[in-house]
Amino acid sequence: MRIAGSLLMVLGVILGAMGSHYLKEKLPPSAMESFDIGIQYLIYHALALLLLSRMRFGTQKRKKTVFYMILLGILLFSGSIVILSFKSLIPFNIRWIGPLTPVGGGLLIAAWVATAFSFAKK
């Protein structure tokens, strides 16, 4: 959890810097807004992984399950939003990625519900 959270933070900072220094000139404002939202959720959940790595869950299995749900949720939710931000620059159709966003969001929600359940059981 800590390694993944740290690496995702690195990715979030790099992409955030890239967005604020380079992409504002390349992407339309609406795409830049989407890009920023994808990065925000990436950073929020990377920080969450770092915090959750220090907390006790009911079982190690539940902690691993939450970790994988958050990791996959980040990749699908934030990843699809970030990739779709570039659709005006990509010469082929990437709209098929759009349905991955709500799947990733659902995984993030489910991970937080599982986390709350785990803490409530204590």
User: DSSP states of 49-110 as a string?
Assistant: HHHHHTS--S-HHHHHHHHHHHHHHHHHHHHHHHHHHTTTT-SS--GGGTTHHHHHHHHHHH
CA dist., res. 61 & res. 98, Å (int): 31
CA dist., res. 85 & res. 26, Å (int): 11
Per-residue model confidence (pLDDT) at position 100? 97
The residue ranges of every structural domain in the chain are: 2-121
At 4, the pLDDT band (50, 70, 90 cuts) reads very high
**Is residue 47 within 8 Å of residue 9, measured between CB atoms?**
yes
Q: Which residues contact 89 (CB under 8 A, 6 or more apart)?
A: 26, 27
Q: Is the pLDDT of residue 87 over 90?
A: yes
| Chain position carrying tokens 């929020």 | 44
Averaged over 69-93, what is the pLDDT? 96
pLDDT, tens only, 26-67: 999 999 999 999 999 999 999 999 999 999 888 899 999 999
Q: What is the mean pLDDT of the chain?
A: 95
